Structure 1
Amino acid sequence: LPFGGVGESGKGHYHGFEGFEAFSKKKAVFFQSRVNGMGLFKPPYGTLFERMINLLIR
């Protein structure tokens, strides 16, 4: 139970979502996908790469 004041004053102010926001730092998080299309463009080239190039050349 919050005590020590009314409204935003007092000790109980930091026990909710506002307290979480006040004491947290936001940071960006990057998740690398397991499916990576860049492997198709690096040697050694496979048959899938050759098919894609032939399709684009037509």
Structure 2
Amino acid sequence: MTVDKINDRTRRRRGRRKKKKKKKKKKKKKKKKKKKKKKKKKKIKQILVDPA
């Protein structure tokens, strides 16, 4: 360690007062609702076609 490095450190220490850390409020995470996939019912075509 060189002298100026040490100097730098002590200067820093002497300088600014320690900042108080603000406590962050924890945001509650919203749970994502899982979308249920709808199964497509295959319509039997015979019923749809009118046999007339």
TM, length-normalised to structure 1: 0.28
TM, length-normalised to structure 2: 0.30
Q: Which structure has the larger Rg?
A: 2
Structure with higher RCO (Cα < 8 A, 6+ apart): 1
Give the structure with the larger helix fraction.
1
